[in-house]
Amino acid sequence: MTKRLIPLLLVVAFVSCDDEAAKPGAVPTAPAVAPSAAAASATAADISGGSTICRVYATERDVAKTELDAAPTDTLAQRRVKTLDALVKETCD
């Protein structure tokens, strides 16, 4: 009888273990940057040139400006905005 009892106890112990961690109740949400990107693409559509390259440059510029607003001391972001401003001015005006 003890030969049957040991495997039975092992099976019961194995089945009763809960290896899955508790899942959080809240579902993660999208980052706060998403509405800004939508506004940037809406601004890019208003470029009077209307060409595809103008819309792309304007969208990239608006996204870079949004990133610069988040980190105003980032020199790389400052240069990117300045460069994209020049591209939009030269290409689209």
Q: What are the pLDDT digits (tens) for 43-53?
A: 544 554 467 88
Within-domain flag for 48: yes
| Counted domains in the chain | 1
Q: pTM for the complete prediction?
A: 0.47
Residue 41 above 60 pLDDT? no
CB 57 within 8 A of CB 91: yes
Residue 22 lies in a domain: no
**Structural domain that includes position 83:** 31-93
Give yes or no for a contact between 40 and 66, defined as CB atoms under 8 angstroms apart.
yes
d(CA 39, CA 44): 9
Amino acid at 68: L
Q: Is residue 88 part of a domain?
A: yes
* Placement of tokens 């030269």 in the chain: 90
**Residue 18 counted as domain residue:** no
Question: What pLDDT score does 6 carry?
Answer: 72
Q: Is residue 8 part of a domain?
A: no
Encoded tokens for 47: 């470029």
* Amino acid (one-letter) located at 7: P
